[in-house]
Structure 1
Amino acid sequence: MIQTSNFWLLLFSTVLIYWFLPLKFRAGFLALASYAYLASIEPVAVTVLIAWILVFFYVTPHAMTEKQPTRLIVPALILAILGYLFYYKYFPILVGLFPTLEFLKSPIVPLGISYFTFKLIHYAVEVVRGNITDRSLSRFFCYIFLYPIFTAGPIERFDHFLANREDSWQRQSMVEGATRIVYGLIKLFVIGKLFIAQLLQPWVTGGSVLTPLDLISHLTSLQTHEVWGYLALTFLYAYIEFSAYSDIAIGASRLYGFRIMENFNFPILASNIGEFWKRWHMTLVGWIQRYIYLPTIGLTRSPYAAVYSTFLTMGLWHGATSNWILWGAYHATGVSIFLTWGRIKRSRGWHTVLGNSWKYVGVPFTFAFVTGSYAFSATSGYGGWTGLRVFAKLLGYNLGLNPLH
């Protein structure tokens, strides 16, 4: 979205109008401007979202009574919006398995569906918990539709959105927002697209810019270190690109006086996989920890069940493919091993012996472990067996073609 001229035209034309308007009209104006921009990209799905917003806004408060029937309101709303997400994002996978269902398939996935689904679920749950009491429809519309963060996050919390907004123009906020946007553009175009993609990758992979298809097609002939290099750069590029989009989204929102939640905190410097997941896509991790991890651990009393449910959910959030399921299982296994190691260290007192000086040794190992997960995510369009083949190549093995074919 940020690579279109309309995004920048909207940003620079509405910021001035926004601050000249009386306070009571600003949220409604920004919501309307965001809707108009998003509707110009995908009018039907974005308009349907209005219905979802109205349903969640007006129906959710009725679940706060103690009557048994009303306690089913929020679960029903959550199942409904998850069904909407499933139909567009995951049902096409089933259609591929059962061609007779082809007539039910929708050709277009609604814009930003994963992000607004999680935001609506967050709103419903927190209203019932009593953590959200604001009943302004214009602010709720603004929260859901806010165009800088609509498609790529961060996954803002409504309570944070309300508590971290400014009611008057602040010069410092303008400077911070503009600086953050410039920072994001430099990361995206100079570091990401120019340095990593065009200069560094050919040097690492033997003189050519590889695509995932090139990697798969020449997998047996590539050297192990070349595959490691390709996936490491894929990881780096994904981080630079995604964090750059977050920078621009946070900076653009800052121009309107909103201090949006941070999404990255230099995850490539993490010294262990646990710390990595406290630094990477922090708003998604925070959402899943709040609504998947904690309920699961409360239900099962097993941190390992909670970890696996967390990462499988995270994998499915990215895509309903065997690659993303393997990706989730890979990270869940890594975090589970890390948790077990932590328990062993504490029980034997090794954490006091090893101290903090050893944590920096873990940085390259953590980087390598995360790089390994890109064997699955970088090949997400080519099937889980292909991901396993690439991962085996990282270990120096050549697996054959899918034995099922």
Structure 2
Amino acid sequence: MIFNSLEFAIFLPLIFFLYWFVFNKSLKAQNILLVVSSYVFYGWWDWRFLSLILFSTLVDYSIGLQLRKEEVKTKRKVLLWTSILVNLGFLGFFKYFNFFLDNFKQAFTFFGYQIDGYSLNIILPVGISFYTFQTLSYTIDVYKRKLEPSKDFISFTAFVCFFPQLVAGPIERAVNLLPQFYKKRTFNYTKAVNGLRQILWGLFKKVVIADNCAVVVNKIFANYENYNGSTLILGAVFFAFQIYGDFSGYSDIAIGTSRLFGFDLMKNFNFPYFSRDIAEFWRRWHISLSTWFRDYLYIPLGGSKGGTWMKVRNTFIIFLVSGFWHGANWTFIIWGGLNALYFLPLLLTKRNRKNTDEISKGRILPSVKDSVSILFTFAITVLAWIFFRADTVDHALNYLANILSYDLFSLPQIAPYKTLGLLFVFLTIEWLGRNNNFAIEKFGERWYKPLRWATYYLLIFSIFYFAGDQQEFIYFQF
């Protein structure tokens, strides 16, 4: 079941009604409803994968209880590593088995040996990378005594499978989300309206921006040999907005939906394409994953406190692992490596925390300095996105080579005026709302009610009238 589907349009109001008007007398009943509805939501793709979520839930719940009782350090470590190996084992098998097998065979072929082996026809469970990291955060925090282990199995199960963010995040920390399942929730009209507003903006990002960009991107990347350099640049730029509209749109819908049920999820995107350097970009892009790797991998490795070699090593580890997390393909690893190369100069010159202030504070338009910095950061980000989007490394390299052809400065062979116009409107709204949690959070709150509602209806009209061809959310494959 996807957010921009008729099924979800029926599912959400039904669960909302049951949650607040039928099961509202009991916290436990509300949590049971969330568990059942979340399993229905996830099982809509393939009910067989529900067993993976249930098994992961049972393992981490049981290990959490054992960690509560165990005081011997070595035994605590055994429990922690059991959780890590079980969770990463499932993730590794379903996501990376064929990748390692194929590369193993290719390595021996390079040295003149032929190894027979057959790749398995493995179906990647939707969202496995997200809920795996979420449950790992629980076990690690319990191990570090930052969190009391849950004794409420229903609440813990609801935390693991909470349907708004189950498939593509945000990747919530147990210390933030789990306690919310223990507390009695009362309906908050202001929070619900804010949630609906964020859902509306998320749908606009996905259906109007991402799906329209996808039509152009798919055409150009599939036939890049037939287009001139300027058209290929257009395709790469459109992909940058496709993936942003697609993924941040999903996060907006997830966060807004959670608010309808009385939950607060972490902010996952903070207007990343207005970043003035790559370090700021990574503080604003997919925040839940970036901070997860920072807290559970980068800092335990020593972070940036050691010498130059340690800083370089840790930076490459964090970005390469992040790339590999996205998919079992060398294109993602190269994408991660490029971002590490972008980041290193800022880290080594101690300028990675330079741009932490508000972007062009108090200005309607950015300053010349900010404009140059934003455009440069966007340009190198788009360059890296080419590897992310390409099917293979050869595809990406050939795409780049064709960009640098003799006809680079000729007019694009494709003129998607409608999509360009929509992007202009979108970026204008995002820029004006860049200091909010999402662009239209406070949009028109001082306006007369008819004008405010007219704006909402205009967005709804745009979603139906300007909708592109329906595309699956990009991050479902991760």
Classify the secondary structure of the residue corresponding to 1:339.
Answer: helix
> Does structure 1 residue 358 correspond to structure 2 residue 374?
no
Change (3 A) 1:75 1:357: farther
> Does structure 1 residue 339 correspond to structure 2 residue 351?
no
User: What is the deviation of 1:329?
Assistant: 0.5
- Pairing partner for 1:288 from 271, 293, 296: 293
User: What is the deviation of 1:343?
Assistant: 5.8
The equivalent of 1:74 in structure 2 is: 80
The equivalent of 1:317 in structure 2 is: 325
- Pairing partner for 2:45 from 41, 47, 52: 41
CA contact (8 A) 1:65 1:71 kept: no
- Pairing partner for 2:241 from 236, 247, 253: 236
Task: Using the aligned pairs only, state the percent identity.
Answer: 28
> Does structure 1 residue 17 correspond to structure 2 residue 24?
no
Aligned residue pairs, count: 373
The equivalent of 2:398 in structure 1 is: 389
As a proportion of its length, which structure holds more helix?
1
Change (3 A) 1:390 1:24: same
Quote the Cα distance in structure 2 between the aligned partners of 1:344 and 1:28. 45
Please report the TM-score for the alignment, with normalisation by the length of structure 1. Answer: 0.85
Change (3 A) 1:183 1:300: closer
The equivalent of 2:99 in structure 1 is: 93
User: What is the deviation of 1:163?
Assistant: 4.9
Amino acid at match of 2:238: L
User: What is the deviation of 1:48?
Assistant: 2.8
User: What is the deviation of 1:42?
Assistant: 1.3
Amino acid at match of 2:170: P
Deviations 1:208-254 (A, max 9, x none): x7242212x33xxx333222221011101111111111111111111
Runs of 4+ in 1 over 6 A off after TM superposition: none
> Does structure 1 residue 132 correspond to structure 2 residue 147?
yes
Quote the Cα distance in structure 2 between the aligned partners of 1:345 and 1:114. 29
The equivalent of 1:353 in structure 2 is: none
User: What is the deviation of 1:259?
Assistant: 0.9
Quote the Cα distance in structure 1 between the aligned partners of 2:352 and 2:333. 28
Quote the Cα distance in structure 1 between the aligned partners of 2:311 and 2:402. 32
> Does structure 1 residue 279 correspond to structure 2 residue 284?
yes
Quote the Cα distance in structure 2 between the aligned partners of 1:184 and 1:344. 30
> Does structure 1 residue 191 correspond to structure 2 residue 209?
yes
CA RMSD of aligned residues (A): 2.6
> Does structure 1 residue 373 correspond to structure 2 residue 381?
no
User: What is the deviation of 1:46?
Assistant: 1.3
Deviations 1:74-98 (A, max 9, x none): 1122012111111110112234454
Quote the Cα distance in structure 2 between the aligned partners of 1:376 and 1:282. 21
- Pairing partner for 2:160 from 122, 144, 150: 144
Structure 1 unmatched ranges of 5 or more: 203-208, 347-355, 399-405
- Pairing partner for 1:180 from 195, 198, 223: 198
Change (3 A) 1:268 1:124: same
Quote the Cα distance in structure 2 between the aligned partners of 1:71 and 1:61. 14
CA contact (8 A) 1:88 1:109 kept: yes
User: What is the deviation of 1:68?
Assistant: 2.1
> Does structure 1 residue 167 correspond to structure 2 residue 175?
no
Amino acid at match of 2:60: F
> Does structure 1 residue 245 correspond to structure 2 residue 250?
yes
Structure 2 unmatched ranges of 5 or more: 106-114, 355-366, 408-478
The equivalent of 1:7 in structure 2 is: 8
Quote the Cα distance in structure 1 between the aligned partners of 2:37 and 2:351. 52
User: What is the deviation of 1:191?
Assistant: 2.8
Change (3 A) 1:345 1:116: closer
- Pairing partner for 2:123 from 108, 126, 132: 108
Quote the Cα distance in structure 1 between the aligned partners of 2:189 and 2:264. 14
Change (3 A) 1:253 1:397: farther
Please report the TM-score for the alignment, with normalisation by the length of structure 2. Answer: 0.72
The equivalent of 2:418 in structure 1 is: none
Quote the Cα distance in structure 1 between the aligned partners of 2:370 and 2:192. 38
Higher relative contact order (CA 8 A, sep 6+): 2
User: What is the deviation of 1:130?
Assistant: 1.5
User: What is the deviation of 1:361?
Assistant: 2.4
Change (3 A) 1:344 1:261: closer
The equivalent of 2:425 in structure 1 is: none
Amino acid at match of 1:47: S
The equivalent of 2:337 in structure 1 is: 329
Change (3 A) 1:197 1:112: closer
Classify the secondary structure of the residue corresponding to 1:68.
Answer: helix
Amino acid at match of 1:108: I
CA contact (8 A) 1:123 1:158 kept: yes
